[in-house]
Structure 1
Amino acid sequence: MKSNYLLIGLLFCLPFSLQAQEFGFGVRGGFNTYSIGEIITVGSNGPNGPEAGLVFDPVEDIGFQFGGYFVAQFGKFYVRPELNYMSFQNHYDFPDQQSKWTRSKIDFPILLGYDIIGPVSVYAGPDFGFFSDAEIEGVQETSFTTGNVGPDLEKTAVNLNFGVTFKFKSIGIDLRYEMALAETEEEREDFIRSAYGVNLADLKPYNPNVLSLSVFIDIFRTDSGNIGEFFAGLFKSDKCYCPYNK
């Protein structure tokens, strides 16, 4: 499945890069928040546990991300495929102690953008994500739980990205919202009551959306006036042409 997603993405980007007026590549990194569902206690939580129906809202902690990108420019339009690693963190404030929620993913977004004015551009596009298992501290495997220990979530997903960038020369800032196309299913979790003060609880359905802020840097970029000379220079035996070394 992973190789199919990557192959489709590369085949999609190839014709754009061959016809581009300019192209480049760079690195990016930053921070994110990740939305997850509330937890509601159910049934009997023991004589010293909370009553049924208590709601624990997730607290969004700051996660991080880093990766690289390729960009092909066509006047004001551009195509930017990326390959990123993203780490997500949240927690629940249970009666006795916090329970941390963690997950990570490798994602491959293909972004179609437009330079609207000066250094500002907007973009949108699909995101192909490959997730690790989600983990919630304190969850134990019993006959009351559904699936694995912790949330039993899909390992792959296709989401949508929307964002805006502000760029000055080779450095830019990227504000992005990733919208999930599918909601998760409700799951029953069994926590260690002696440690967290919660026993049986339901993790409610949610849309795992991501809000991220990152900085990106062009490592290499051609311009519209010398891209033809760049490709011609690749095949010369006496020198290696680079447009930044004129």
Structure 2
Amino acid sequence: MKAISLLLASCIYLYSSGLFSQEYVFGVKAGLNTNTIGDINSRGGSIAAGKPDETFSPKHNIGYQFGAYFMVQFKHVFLRPELNYVTLKNHYDFPNRTSKWSASKLEIPLLIGIDIIKPLSLYAGPSLNFFNDIALDGVQVTSFSDGGPDIERNTTSINFGVMVHYNRFHLDLRYELGTKATQEELLDINNSAFGVNLADLRSYTPKTLSLSLSVDIFRTDGTKISDLFKNDGNCGCPY
């Protein structure tokens, strides 16, 4: 919440200072991501007496995201709140079968950025995350475990990124880091199907790396998106 308060204070300062003319932009975006989650420690003794524990590290799969943004440009500084739908995917290579981990969330990043040199910008800011579906193949509800993974449904994270602009298009490479680590959790997994029984999902701090393409649909600079297809030099370019 401190990060959000600081961002709001920065917005108020930029608006009230009157140092910059303002331009407003609305656009849409879509892209791909990779996600980092925790190791799973299989309790070997839950399968056979004397069997040693075994640790399985998650493998990355490609998730996707799409959404919309509203941007206020103050010459070389911009504010950019977004609303995105995000899917996250990983898997574990268990002895008998691959177990897929998946999650989806609605996120609201609140970003502030600065144009370094044309066409490059840097930005940072907090994000509010509202998780929906979270699942790991093979997890059972038993007397040992109530299912899972049971991560918090409402979380916050911090975003850092770099953006390259071309006409109305923006290519965005972003790193997202959770502000709080998850708690270690006991899972009961279907042993006959996956070769793992009782297992500990280790504590981890969520991390996501994403690459997105954005396009400005509406701008208050008097240009239209159709101007991109003209050959008269009026391309509607912000840069």
Looking at structure 2, the residues matched to 186 and 100 of structure 1 have their Cα atoms a distance apart, in angstroms, of 19
Looking at structure 1, the residues matched to 52 and 100 of structure 2 have their Cα atoms a distance apart, in angstroms, of 22
Q: TM-score normalised to the size of structure 2?
A: 0.83
Report the CA distance between 1:13 and its aligned residue. Answer: 6.6
Unpaired runs of 5+ in structure 2? 1-6, 224-235
Matched, 1:169 2:167: yes
State the match for 1:189 in structure 2: 187
Contact 2:28–2:216 (CA under 8 A) maintained in structure 1: yes
User: Match of 1:116, SS?
Assistant: strand
Alignment deviations for residues 200-238 of structure 1 (CA, whole Å, 9 cap, x no partner)? 110000011110001000101123xx69xxxxxxxxxxx
Counterparts of 1:193-232 in structure 2, within 5 Å, are 193-223=191-221
Looking at structure 1, the residues matched to 15 and 64 of structure 2 have their Cα atoms a distance apart, in angstroms, of 29
User: Match of 2:180, SS?
Assistant: coil
Report the CA distance between 1:45 and its aligned residue. Answer: 3.2
Unpaired runs of 5+ in structure 1? 1-8, 228-243
Contact 2:44–2:50 (CA under 8 A) maintained in structure 1: no
Q: 1:31 to 1:128 in 2, by over 3 A?
A: same
Q: 1:56 to 1:46 in 2, by over 3 A?
A: same
Looking at structure 1, the residues matched to 11 and 148 of structure 2 have their Cα atoms a distance apart, in angstroms, of 37
Looking at structure 2, the residues matched to 205 and 183 of structure 1 have their Cα atoms a distance apart, in angstroms, of 6
Report the CA distance between 1:73 and its aligned residue. Answer: 0.6
User: Match of 2:141, SS?
Assistant: coil
Contact 1:31–1:65 (CA under 8 A) maintained in structure 2: yes
User: Match of 2:103, SS?
Assistant: strand
Q: TM-score normalised to the size of structure 1?
A: 0.81
Moved beyond 4 Å, runs of 4+? 9-20
Looking at structure 1, the residues matched to 66 and 110 of structure 2 have their Cα atoms a distance apart, in angstroms, of 16
Q: 1:107 to 1:132 in 2, by over 3 A?
A: same
Counterparts of 1:61-210 in structure 2, within 5 Å, are 61-145=61-145, 148-210=146-208
Looking at structure 2, the residues matched to 12 and 205 of structure 1 have their Cα atoms a distance apart, in angstroms, of 34
Alignment deviations for residues 142-173 of structure 1 (CA, whole Å, 9 cap, x no partner)? 1112xx41211111111100000001000110
Looking at structure 2, the residues matched to 134 and 13 of structure 1 have their Cα atoms a distance apart, in angstroms, of 34
Report the structure, 1 or 2, having the larger strand content. 2
Q: 1:16 to 1:104 in 2, by over 3 A?
A: farther
- Which range moved further: 171-180 or 148-157? 148-157
Q: Amino acid of the residue matched to residue 211 of structure 2?
A: L
User: Match of 1:132, SS?
Assistant: strand
Q: 1:10 to 1:68 in 2, by over 3 A?
A: farther
Looking at structure 2, the residues matched to 50 and 173 of structure 1 have their Cα atoms a distance apart, in angstroms, of 53
Looking at structure 1, the residues matched to 85 and 10 of structure 2 have their Cα atoms a distance apart, in angstroms, of 21
User: Match of 2:192, SS?
Assistant: helix
Looking at structure 2, the residues matched to 85 and 111 of structure 1 have their Cα atoms a distance apart, in angstroms, of 17
Looking at structure 2, the residues matched to 162 and 89 of structure 1 have their Cα atoms a distance apart, in angstroms, of 21
User: Match of 2:179, SS?
Assistant: coil
Alignment deviations for residues 48-100 of structure 1 (CA, whole Å, 9 cap, x no partner)? x9933201000010000000000001110000000000000000000000000
Q: 1:108 to 1:15 in 2, by over 3 A?
A: farther
Q: Amino acid of the residue matched to residue 205 of structure 2?
A: N
> What percent of counterpart residues are identical?
47
Report the CA distance between 1:42 and its aligned residue. Answer: 1.5
Contact 1:16–1:72 (CA under 8 A) maintained in structure 2: no
Looking at structure 2, the residues matched to 158 and 201 of structure 1 have their Cα atoms a distance apart, in angstroms, of 27
Q: Please give the root-mean-square deviation of Cα atoms over the aligned residues, in Å.
A: 2.6
